[in-house]
Copies of this chain bind each other. A is one copy, B any other.
Amino acid sequence: MFNKISIIGCGLIGSSILRAIRKNKISKSIQVYDKSKEVNSFLKEEKFHEYILNDISLVAKNTDLIIIAAPLSSYKEIFLSIKDHINKKTIITDTGSVKGETNKIVEGFNLKNVSWIASHPIAGTEESGPKGGFAELFLNRWCIISPEENANKDDLEKVRKFWELLGSKTKIMSPSDHDYILSLTSHLPHAIAYNLVRSAVKSEDKFKDEVIKYSAGGLRDFTRIASSDPIMWRDIFIDNSENILKVLESFSNNLEEMRKAIEEKNSSKLIQIFSSTKNVRKEIVKAGQDTDKPDFGRKKS
């Protein structure tokens, strides 16, 4: 379907795309560009040598599909570097976690004869960098595609097909719906997890070692997503700040209600709060979004 796919950014996501394209033979040729020396050294060690580009301006040459898998804050610089080199009919997509701001940036470049069709694979782990990548990362996961209203329908189908070849289920969604839904499913949980972990584990607390040692009672679940890439999350919180501030306000109001119930030892209110969430996990398991094994199926020690 593709003759040449170029990936800009080869961290966890970019390197997983590279691996998946190669494994599933989705494109005749593939090339990757990453500005980090460490990333390029790793790629060479792992025998990805033939795919590496040393100059970002070459990314666009004779390329059918460009995939940006770099931090949101680097998009402007990337488009500046490639905009004068893009062939007609090239499709550009991305893997970013916020869509509204990104679309504004890309529209600002007013690119002619280029199809910009934003994507967001809901896939990843707490690891970052190409070492953590693997070809099956997108298998059975959702990829949300958020085209602009005037996007070329054929190109949209190609992008959809691309993610399906990687094993993903796809869903087309407006950028604003995407940014609202993700603020609830991903951005708020990350904000809260980071905040919880830094509130619970304080280096000046004389019980710090004990807090680590006995973290299996709940805290450890939060530390996974609170160890994600800081640059990526800084960018998300800046680009989707409007939605995130709104959901944080709702969270804080609910927390205050709970705090009062604890202070007043209001038994029935607490039961009501703790009962209200019981079925959500069942619905998530039913929707195929998590394992139904206790403890996430963590391997028994």
Contacts and interface: CB of A to CB of B under 8 A. Distances in A.
Interface of A: 97, 122-127, 132, 136, 139-142, 144, 177, 180-182, 184-201, 207, 210-228, 230-231, 233-234, 237-238, 241, 244-245, 247-248, 250-252, 254-255, 258-259, 261-263, 265, 267, 270-271, 273-284, 287-291, 293-301
A289 B186 contact: no
A274 B225 CA distance: 10
A218 B234 contact: no
Contacts of A142: 213-214, 216
A244 B262 contact: yes
Nearest to A169: B213
25 contacts: A125-B294, A126-B281, A136-B300, A139-B300, A142-B214, A186-B217, A188-B200, A194-B276, A194-B277, A195-B255, A201-B280, A219-B284, A220-B281, A221-B221, A221-B224, A223-B277, A223-B290, A224-B295, A227-B277, A227-B282, A231-B271, A237-B261, A296-B297, A297-B297, A297-B298
Q: Is the interface of A mostly helix, strand, loop or mixed?
A: helix
B252 A287 contact: no
Contacts of A191: 255, 258, 262
Specify how many copies of this chain sit in the oligomer: 2
Contact of A199 (B139, B196, B221, B250): B250
A193 to B, nearest CB: 7
